[in-house]
Structure formats: structure tokens, C-alpha cells
Structure 1
Amino acid sequence: MMKRYGILFCLLTLTLLFSATAQAVDVKVGGEFYAGGMYLDKTTLKKDTATDGPSTAFYFQRLRVNAGLIVVPGLSLITRFDVMERAWGASRSVPATALDTMSAGTRAENENIAFDWLFVMYDSPVGRWRVGYMTDGAWGTVFMDTSTPRGKIAWSYHAPNWMYTIQVVKMAENSRTAVNPATASDLDGDKYCMAFRYNWKNVEAGILLGLGRDAIKRPGMAPDNGYRALYNNFMPYFKAQIGPVKLQSEVVYFMGKLRDYEEDALGRDVQLSTLTAWLDAQADLGRFYMGGTFAYTSGDDPGTTEKAEGDVIRNNGGRDWNPCLIMWNQDLNYWVGAVAGHNAAAQSGPMYNAWFFQVRGGVKPIDKLDIMASVSYANADKKPTANWIYNDYGYEVDLTATYKITNNLSYMLGAGYLFTGKYYRGESDSNSVSNDFLVLNKLTLTF
């Protein structure tokens, strides 16, 4: 009996607390839930080997909730968390410390609940201040964006047509703490950036200037022998609406030192000079639309050991950009993983070391239905080794249909077929590869 009274007392106390809080703080909640199913015919691109992958089929889901606590007008506490991001009925991930892709939590935490954002936002007379964990890695167009939560301090000022921002971002923290018994100092990764954007009529343009410093490998230990990275990046973009045609473009250039050794005897410095570019055009013709995409990410030439023309971490197409259902698709990469070829070749991660071309077209026979087809081709910019034979990644044909059930609920069904290129044969022409296809469906609720 006393236990029942105790539980009742706790419930009443919580109710009073939440009621009192609600009188002082306004709460805004939004988010997205999706549940999907995926079938992949082959989990490797190899043929006639002992390691040919089987097919795979499973269901998966995720709930993402955004919540804003408005303390007073102009002062808010913002948070975001993901809930039950997992494949149905699958084994849980082994608890680990490495962060999940595009998350501030581990994969095991995301399968339960993981918080990605927690920051204060204050609109002062001299601009907006945000301090805490929030999205980083997203600027300009969707290309080269990988929206990753990181701790940062951000200031921005919005005028009628202009926006300015200055940000300090903590990429990696390796100082000695209660949970990290480091024996050296200055092992962090930091990023500093400033950007501005201007809007006029049907055009938007901007540029971001960044400075990155990565000292994680600074201690002189084999096999790296102590170096740091120091580089700048320049990221101009524009968006324009010219009649029925929407144009978007972004160029990203990194320059500096990828490896700056503290002692010349430990190694030779490696210069960094990479280029990434994207151009997208789409014409809206009423019930019909058509468009095309060109993308380029420079690859590293294995013959120039003192210069990095490509770096998979810094110059890539980004995980937010999903041009195909198989090639460089985040759903496939996250839920299935890398689709391997020969000699460590793999269809994985965001686009890197590639020339990419796509044409697409679609029709909306009714307001709620959108049917789109695309044909894409990709070719490697550089062969990864001197013995690599071919450059072509292959062709992909995709067909998707999205039906808007209600204003907040939609269903997508898609199929993609990859005509696998000879790049995945690796270093031997005797290696065989196979084509692959995928079927994906997804139910999405927004609120």
C-alpha cells in the first residue's frame, strides 16, 4: 500500500513540475519518422570468387525529434535526438566509443536514443549567438554537405539581403580529461570559418572561408612519426531561378599542408591541393520536369607522394547528397555498408575521386504522385595504384515513385540497377564483376 502511495506521489510531483515549467517555457516540437524496407541483390560486386556476397533484405526505421524550449522571446534552448534507429529484429550493436555516422552518439546509442543537438540560441542586438552541440558541415547547396553534430560557437547577423557568420568548431578533443589519460598536449582538431550570403530577386550567392588545424597525429609515434595538418578552404556557391529553370552550383578548394612534420628527419611534408565542383540544373514544365547534374571530386595521384590532390575526408560529395539509389547513397551505406569489389575497391561512403554525370526526368500525373527516372555514369579521376587497370565505375538506372498520402505522410518506392564498371576489377583483368540491383521503399511521417 505504501508503495502505491509513493508511486502516486511521484506522479503528482512530476505533473506539478511539468505544469509549472509549461507556464514559464514554450515548447515547440517537430521531427520525422521513417520506416523502410531494402532488398540488395548482391552485397559485393565480385563474381566467381569465394567471397561473393549474398543478397540481403530487411526493414529499418528511425525517429528524429527536434525540440525548442523558448525561455523568453529571443532566448531558446534547442535539442534534437534520434530514437530506435535500427533494423527490425536485428542483433543490437556492440557498445563502443566511436561515434556513429553523422551523429554525436554511438551506433548502439542511436539504436536506443542518442542526443545530437543541445545548444542555447540568443538573439542579441548585435546578432544571433549559438553555443553548444549543433549541425556542422552544411553550407550553400546540398553538395559536399555532411550534416554532423559538433560542439561550436557560432555568431551570425541577418540583414534584409545579407547574412554574415563566424564560427569556431571543435572537431576533435584529445586533451587529458577524467576519461582520457593523455600523456601529451595540443592533440586537438579545430576549425575556424567565416561566411557571407547575399540574396537578390531570384538569385542567392555566398562564400565560406575556412581554416582547419588537425594535431591529432602530432606526437612522434610510428608509423606516422609526428605531424599536423594546416589548411584553408574556399567554398563559393550560387542558386538561381531563371524562368522555369533552377540552377545550382558550388566549388570547393582546399589548400595547405596535409602533413607538416615537426622534424624534417621524421618525414617529408605533404602539400594539400584538392578541387570539388558541382553543377545542377532542373526545368519545371508543369506536370513534367527534366534536369541534369555534373559533379567532380579530385582523387589523389599515387605517383605524387609529396602532394595530395585528393583527400577522402576533406573533399567529397557529402553524405547529405544522394544522387543515386546505389552509387553513393547514404541509406545503402549506413544500413548495408560498403559493397566491395576487388583489391579494396568498394562502392561506399560519399562520392570521392570521381567524375559524375546524370540526366533525369519526371512526371506528376496527379498532384500527389511524383515519378522520376534517371541515368547516371561515373568514372574515377585517378587510379588508386600504379597497377590499377580501369577507371569506369559504371552506369546506374534509377526509377522512383513518391506518393503523398497526406500533407505529413508520404510513401516512396524505388528501384536501381547498377551496370558495374571495370574499375571494380582492381589490379587484374582476370577478376570478374557482376551487376547489382536494389529495391527500396520508405514510409515517411513529418510533424
Structure 2
Amino acid sequence: MKKLLVILALLAFAATSFAVELKLSGDFYVRGSYISIDTDETNGVDEKYSYYDQDMNLWAKLVVDENTWVTTRFAIHDENWKDDSEDEADDDFTAERVWMTHKFSTGTTLDAGLMTGAGWGTAFGNDTGGKYRIKFTQALPYGSLVAFVQKNTEKGAELKYKDAEKDDSDTYGLGANIKAGDFKIMPLVTYMNNSAKYLDNGTDAQKTWRADVAFTGKVGMVGFEGEFSYVTMNDDDNSSLDFDVYGVYLNGYAMVDKVKVGAIVAYGSYDKDAKKGYDFEDDFDSTLVLGDWLQLGDDYAYGYGTKGESDLVGMTLLQLYAKTNVTDKLSVNASLSYVFSNQEDNEYEDVKAYEVDLGASYAITKNLTYSLAFGYAQVKDIIENNGLTDEDKFDLKAIRAYHKIALTF
């Protein structure tokens, strides 16, 4: 907490001493969750437990003038509740974003520093986080053009010996936001040269190209959004790691009376040779259990929700959903999802799954909300220990429920 007090004191001093306008905003929540996971496999899982977690984000914007400012975000105690004797207060306070913005008279905007990255278009395929970038955005008559360079790993300054700079990892991106009436299309191409994979003072690397095309629009009472994403990686030293995967997402919705009803189709391909599936990624939140918690199809998450960085992987999702405001303060939502596997020659190849999600949210005040969520999922035909017969398959049942109180300011 000492770090927080020091930072706030410095911000207040800067605002008063240098005529900088300080704008503060943020959010905070406390959530109590219940988890139940049961399988019928040999020596299967039977987990039932509950826990609390919380998170606070404090945004501080230091405005020098109408065209120049610095944006920061501090994460404070983003954690599960624990024994207070384990608490290391300073370790639970992190500056997750710090970057500068300047708008030029040419319509060009410069952003430089630790900013939010790895997100584009819709939430499909996104796992946003802090990225060190220099980014230019150029306003156009029908949208904008975006270009950036991103530093993933810095080995030259770390190791300091000759040619160590060749072992850096960098990403380059070029994209556009094009608007035409109620329609918007957002293409992006990125290239990552991950030479830090092989510390050989040379240019051997994992080289990844990614192309995304996202779109949103509205025709009459029907709205829609979607995205196509293609990722290919080539490894200079180990071609067995090379992969090509792609994902497709489409969400269509309409207002029927006072109810928003919609349908989602999402597809993630699977490269059998590389044993790599397209990941819907953490930001997508496809379902409460199968995607956001179990991360079905992700080998590293097969410990049932332990990785926390994925969603469905190498799967197809079909979902129907509905949302409505019962009163000015109370809203409810429900969804029904069916998931089946696109993977081959592994424990997920025959998987089929179903999930029902229910939720409600009540606005206690304009800034304070209490919400409830419940999800029940069944997963069928997971192959046990890479077995080859129906007797080697097992099913899984899971429940995730929580209640949460959240504040924005």
C-alpha cells in the first residue's frame, strides 16, 4: 500500500505544481464463486469448492493540454482472498499501463509506451494485455489507418554482447478502421519475429504472420458483428512446430419487443500435424463454464480452469442467447450453447458439449451493481489416456456460479 500512497501523492503534486489536469476513474469488484466438477473416468475428478476474489483498476489521466496527455492504469489486489499473513502489499500494486498520447494538427495521433495491445476488431481471438508500443493513427475521410511496432523481448540491452540484438522479439502491425454508414470493416496484418526463442546471436526465429478482418453493421432491426482470423507460424530450427490455423466468428442479433435475441457461430480450426488449435482466447468469454473456465480443447488447461488465458480451442460453438431489461434497474440474460470438436488424434477428437447459462444484474445505484451468474455444462466422450475404444471415453459435468458486487467511478 505504500507504493499506492506514493504514486497518488506524486500524481497530486504533478497536478497542482505543473498545471496538469488530473482525471481519475476506475472500477472495483468483489466476487464469491462456487465450482463443481465431476467426471466418471477412472480415478476421476470430483471437485467442489468456493472462493472469493477481487480486483481494482485505477485509471489516472494527466492532461497537459487538449492534444497531449499521459494515461496510466494501476491494478490493486487483483487476487483470490487468502490468509492475510501471506499478503505482501507492495506486490499487489502494479502499474499495468503507462503511455503518452499526442494529437498532431495533421490528424495524426502518436501513442508511445506501455499500452493495451493484442486486441483488434471484436473480442474473438483477443487476449489483451500491456504491450510496449509506438503506434501511429492517421485520421482518414472514412475512418483511420493504424501502424505500430511492438517490443516483446529485449535481449540486446539485457545481454549487451555482440549480436545479442539479433535475439530480440518484435511485432509489426498495419491496420485500418473503415466506416461507411452503419457498416465498419477492420483489417489488420501483423508480423512477429520471435528471435528470442533461440538465443544464438543470429536471426533464427519463430516467425508468425496473422491476418484479421473484423466487421460490424446493422440492416434494419438486425445487427451483426464478425471476424475472420488466420495465423501461420514458421520455426527456422524445428519445422515440426510450424502451424496454420484460422478462426471464424459471426454474431447476429435483433430486438424482439424489448428482448435482444441472437445467435453465435464460432469456428476454430485444428492443425493435426502441429497439434495446434485456433484459440478463441481469453477476452471472448464464449460461455461461463466450457470457455471461460474449462477452456475446452486447451491441453494446458486440462486441469480444469487452471490456466486462465484461453477459451475454446479447436472447437465449433453454436449458441442462442437472449437479454432483456425487466425494469430500469434489473436485467436478465440466458444462453444455450452446443460445442463440438474439430481436433483429431487426441483426447478431444470426439468431444461434444452442452451448456446452459443464466444471469441477472441489478443496479443498486448508477455506479454500484449486484449480479448473479449460473452455468451448467456437460462434456461427453473425452478419450481417457488416449484410449482407442468407447470404453476408454468419459464424461464430465461442471457447475460454475457466482455473485458479484461491482463499483465504477
Question: TM-score w.r.t. structure 1 length?
Answer: 0.79
Correspondence for 2:326: 365
In structure 2, what is the Cα distance between the partners aligned to 1:138 and 1:364? Answer: 29
Q: Deviations over 1:92-129 (max 9, x none)?
A: 8899xxxxxxxxxxxx97x6111111111111123110
- 2:3 paired residue number: none
Partner of 2:172: 192
1:15-67 deviation digits (Å, cap 9, x = unpaired) = 9982873561001111111111100012xx53364462421101111100111
Aligned equivalent of 1:433: 395
Would you say 1:240 and 2:217 are equivalent positions?
Answer: yes
The residue that corresponds to 1:272 in the other structure is 243
Which residues in structure 2 correspond to 1:99-114 (within 5 Å)?
112-114=92-94
Question: Aligned partners of 1:219, 1:16: CA distance in 2, in Å?
Answer: 40
Q: Secondary structure at the match of 1:186?
A: helix
Residue of structure 2 equivalent to 1:210: 190
Give the 3-state SS of the residue equivalent to 2:382 in structure 1: helix
Mapped partners of 1:145, 1:373: distance in 2: 23
Gaps of 5+ in 2: 1-5
Matched position secondary structure for 1:55: strand
Residue type at the aligned position of 1:215: S
Deviates more, 1:191-200 or 1:283-292: 283-292
Deviation, 1:297, is 1.3
C-alpha separation in 1, matches of 2:306 and 2:67: 51
Aligned: 1:380 with 2:375? no
Q: Is the 8 A contact 1:260 1:270 kept in 2?
A: no
Are the aligned partners of 1:174 and 1:188 in contact in 2 as well (CA < 8 Å)? yes
Larger strand proportion of the pair: 2
Partner of 1:340: 303
Whole-Å separation in 1 of the counterparts to 2:339 and 2:287: 11
Give runs of aligned pairs for residues 17-36 of structure 1, distance below 5 A. 18=13, 21=16, 24-36=19-31
Q: How many Å apart are 1:414 and its aligned residue?
A: 1.0
CA RMSD of aligned residues (A): 3.4
After superposition, where does 1:225-264 map in structure 2 within 5 Å?
227-255=204-232, 257-261=233-237
Tell me, yes or no, if structure 1 residue 321 matches structure 2 residue 302: no
Deviation at 1:346, TM superposition (A): 9.4
Question: 1-side partners of 2:246 and 2:342: how far apart?
Answer: 11
Which range moves more in the overlay, 210-219 or 28-37?
Answer: 210-219
TM superposition shift of 1:232: 2.0
Task: Answer yes or no: is the 8 Å Cα contact 1:328–1:347 preserved in 2.
Answer: no
Structure 2 letter corresponding to 1:240? G
Alpha carbons of structure 1 residues 23 and 218: separation in structure 2 relative to 1, 3 Å = closer
Give SS of 2:216's match.
strand
**Which residue number corresponds to residue 105 of structure 1?**
none
How many equivalent residue pairs? Answer: 395
**Post-superposition offset of 1:249:** 0.7
For 1:146 and 1:49, how far apart are their aligned partners in 2?
35
Please list, as runs of the form range in 1=range in 2, the aligned pairs for 1:271-290 lying within 5 A after superposition.
271-290=242-261
SS at match of 2:61: strand
Q: Which TM-score applies when normalising by structure 2?
A: 0.86
* Deviations 1:409-435 (CA, angstroms, capped at 9, x unpaired): 212101110112212645233354331
Equivalent position of 1:294 in the other structure: 265
Instruction: Please state whether the residue corresponding to 1:154 is helix, strand or coil.
Output: strand
Q: Distance in 2 between matches of 1:140 and 1:329?
A: 20
Distance in 2 (CA, whole Å) between partners of 1:271 and 1:66 is: 40
In the alignment, which residue of structure 2 is the partner of 1:442?
A: 404
Which residue of 58, 72, 80 maps to 1:79? 72
**Conserved 8 A contact 2:15-2:22:** no
Cα separation, 2, equivalents of 1:321 and 1:85? 20
CA distance 1:145–1:348, shift in 2 (3 Å): closer
- From 122, 125, 135, the counterpart of 1:154: 135
Q: Evaluate the alpha carbon distance shift between residue 166 and residue 93 of structure 1 in structure 2; reply closer, same or farther with a 3 A threshold.
A: farther
Conserved in 2, the CA contact under 8 Å of 1:425 and 1:433?
no
- In structure 1, the residue matched to 2:153 is 172
Contact 1:238 1:249 in 2 (8 A): yes
Shift of 1:405: 2.0
1:144 partnered with 2:125: yes
Find the residue that maps to 1:349 and give its secondary structure: coil
How far did 1:250 drift?
A: 0.3
Amino acid at match of 2:78: E
8 Å Cα contact 1:121/1:129 also seen in 2:
yes
Change (3 A) 1:196 1:406: same
**Residues 253 and 274 of structure 1 are in contact (CA less than 8 Å); yes or no, is this contact kept in structure 2?**
yes
